[in-house]
Structure 1
Amino acid sequence: MKIIDEEIQADYKNRINRVFEFIDQNLDSDLSLNTISEIAFFSPFHFHRVFKFVTDETLNQYVTRQRVEKSALDLLHKNITTTEIAHKYGFADNSSFSRTFKKYFEISPTEFKRQNPNRHSKIRQLERKNGQEYPPYEKYICIIDNLKKWIKMNAKIEIKEMPKMNVAYVSCMGSQNLENAFDKLIQWAMPQGLMNERTKVLTVYHDSFKVTEANKVRMSASVLLDKPVEAEGEIGLTTIEAGKCIVGSFEIEPNEFEKSWTGLFVWMNENGYKKADREPFEIYHNNFNEHPERKAIVDFCIPI
């Protein structure tokens, strides 16, 4: 009976993966319960319950959050108007976008864009989220300077044209669940003959820690495929499209990942690059547990 329950749960999660991908690609379109439940092959009533169980949000809450958070990233990284952003993410008009945005971030899109972009990064968390005051300007500048020094000392940074990559993945929400997602992926990949010393393992980030609460950031534990495979259960298949990336190569301790990511985004801004509408990812080149100093050899990739 337990095996049947696990198979049902895996099938449900696979269907929800399809929903995530559809929503990501259609934030400007009709994402009503009836439309999305058809993508998942559920009745609207049953889909509502399953989606809430998997994400801890209703479909409407999830879609609205995605639209607002993605629009916030555009305000930070792109030189486009709020009217263009409203249209891009499926809001009826500019006033509807502004009203929804302000409800979420407690300030208007215009004010959000006017303020220092880094005010909303992990360096300067919104006060309402963690009850902390923003660091004073001098301390903030010191943090940025330290990040620049850190990147200069610890990263080899290149602009690369990355190839198209076919991957199998297990999706999860929150970094606390990423290790479990990798365990499931590797348990599936080993019997398929996909794991060897040349295999590349990746984490793809579908949300940004800049604007999304850590426990709601969606990630995909992924393995690069060198042959066609069939997905089953919780395993999904997708393609990371080819394109230009900032690639930061690091040899770091596990607790230095956040600092490395933040520093690489600072480098991106300092050097005049703009993030593309594609998802950042990490490519791992070793198992840090087997490194003599327990360090990870990893590439951080920001599409531009």
Structure 2
Amino acid sequence: MSQSYEKRMLRVLQYIHDNPAGDMSLDRLADEAAMSRFHWHRVFRAMTGETCAQAVRRVRLHRAATMLLDSSTDPARIARDVGYDNARSFARAFQGHYGLSPSEFRKRGSFPAPLLTRRKGEFAMYPVTIREEGVRKAAGLLHKGNYSEIGKSFEAFGAVCQSRNLWAQCGPMLGVYFDNPDDKAEADLRSIAGATWHGEVPEDFESCEIPAGRYAVLTYTGPYAGIHGAYEALFGEWLPKSGEMPADTPCLEVYLNNPRDTAPDDLVTEICLALA
């Protein structure tokens, strides 16, 4: 029975992420789940901790934030692309979620220093420390494609853990990013959306061992949509000046709080770079 509900949940989450401008009525989402609207709303909230409307709003606004930073598309067009009927209602929702208007968010660019006010070769400043880490095991769902869209795989991972009562085996939530988006086609990028893992890994999960050693750990505070600027600072500013060499292992992101109950500006992410 739990597998059946898990599949229903994954279908709905996939639909929300793949169709941000589509019909997100409770009736449509219930149809996707193949359940009655009344019962589906209760199941969704019990399994995710959010109502369907809250999940749709969060996904749409995250997509909009990413588009604002990664493109020059007019905010009114972005509003339509993520499912808002008009720019005014989109601006109100965006301001309520991010504390900034869409135009202010774009101008701020990257957190904490405004991307558009920096000259070429200048970088935002983020705290970086070097620390020793033991061997860790990561497990979760394989995500293929644009790293900025890994959120849908994290949503699916959470739904699976909830339906199978796997949370006791999870440590901190993390993402493992195997490929460099600058030299690999977007469709071929591979990552894991999951957590540090204790115990046996389910057959349909991907897993990998994160080796022990020295890691440079950059602490980024702010919306996930702005995390690219933190990578630029780590690789373009800190690493060349540090005298360190990176190891030939994937980068990790460790998520220290939950976007469902944390304001975007207060989200804390550790970017971990293994050192040779």
Give the TM-score of the pair, scaled to structure 2. 0.51
The answer to whether the 8 Å contact 1:200/1:223 transfers is yes
**2:89 corresponding residue in structure 1:** none
What is the deviation of 1:293?
A: 4.7
Match of residue 168, structure 1, among 136, 139, 142: 139
Residue 159 (1) aligns with residue 130 (2): yes
Q: Distance in 2 between matches of 1:249 and 1:280?
A: 14
Return the offset for 1:239: 1.5
Q: Which runs of 5+ in 2 are unaligned?
A: 8-115
1:301 aligned partner: 272
Q: Which amino acid is 1:144 matched to? A: G
2:119 partner SS: helix
How far residue 299 of structure 1 moved from its aligned partner, in angstroms, is: 0.3
Offset at 1:289? 3.7
Equivalent of residue 152 in structure 2, options 180, 195, 198 = 180
Aligned residue identity for 2:120: I
In the alignment, residue 181 of structure 1 is paired with which amino acid? Answer: S
Equivalent runs, 1:176-255 vs 2, <5 Å: 177-195=149-167, 199-225=171-197, 227-233=198-204, 235-255=205-225
Please, which moves more after superposition, 286-295 or 156-165?
Answer: 286-295
Residues 220 and 227 in structure 2, CA contact (< 8 A), matched pair in contact too? no
Work out the CA distance in 1 between the residues paired with 2:265 and 2:259: 5
- TM normalised by structure 1 equals 0.47
Query: SS where residue 269 of structure 1 aligns?
Result: helix
> What is aligned with 1:278?
249
Residues 231 and 194 (structure 1 numbering): CA distance in 2 closer, same or farther, change over 3 Å?
closer
Counterpart for residue 262 of structure 2: 291
1:109-159 CA distances to partner (integer Å, 9 max, x unpaired)? Answer: xxxxxxxxxxxxxxxxxxxxxxxxxxxxxx9x93222x1xx12xxx22111
1:291 CA drift (Å): 2.0
Shift of 1:177: 4.4
Provide the C-alpha distance between the structure 2 equivalents of 1:295 and 1:143, rounded to a whole number of angstroms.
Answer: 28
Matching residue's letter, 1:143: K
In 2, distance between residues paired with 1:285 and 1:171? 21
Q: Does 1:144 align with 2:121?
A: yes
Contact 1:285 1:298 (8 Å CA) reproduced: yes
Whole-angstrom distance in 1 between the partners of 2:138 and 2:268: 20
| Residue 281 of structure 1, CA deviation | 0.6
Do the aligned partners of 1:231 and 1:237 also contact (CA within 8 Å) in 2? no
RMSD over aligned CA atoms reads 2.5
Q: Bigger shift: 288-297 or 257-266?
A: 288-297
Give the deviation of 1:220 after TM superposition: 0.9
- Partner residue in 2 for 1:115: none
Q: Percent identity?
A: 18
Tell me the number of residue pairs that the alignment of Structure 1 and Structure 2 aligns: 158
- Partners of 1:230 and 1:293 in 2: CA distance: 31
Rounded to whole Å, the distance in 1 between the matches of 2:157 and 2:196 is 11
Tell me if structure 1 keeps the 8 A contact 2:222–2:264.
Answer: no
SS in 2 for 1:144: coil
Per-residue deviation at 1:192? 4.6
